[in-house]
Amino acid sequence: MKVLDVVATLRAFPEQRVGRGQVGTVVEELNRDHVLVEFADLYGVTHAIAPIPVNQLMELKYSPAWPPPTC
C-alpha cells in the first residue's frame, strides 16, 4: 500500500467507527505493517482517520490489472 491508494477494509474497526468494506484513501505509510487511512463520505466529509493494518485492507483498482487480449 502506498499514499493515495484507494482501499477497502476487510473487517470492521468499531473503535475507529469504520465498518467492514468501508472505502478510504491511504494518506500516510506509518510502517511496513500499518497505514493511515482517511475515510470520507460521498461529499468528501471525513468521518474517520485511522491506522489500519495493511493485511486488513484490499487495494481497489479502477483499470484492468493486466493488458486486454489482442485480437
DSSP 68: P
Amino acid in the structure at residue 66: W
pLDDT in tens, 40-61: 999 999 999 999 999 999 999 8
pTM: 0.86
pLDDT on residue 60: 96
- Sign, Cα dihedral of 44, 62, 27, 38: positive
**Domains of the chain with bracketed CATH:** 6-59 (2.30.30)
Q: Determine how many CB atoms are found less than 10 A away from the CB of residue 31.
A: 8
d(CA 23, CA 8): 4
Assign 63 a pLDDT band (cuts: 50, 70, 90). confident
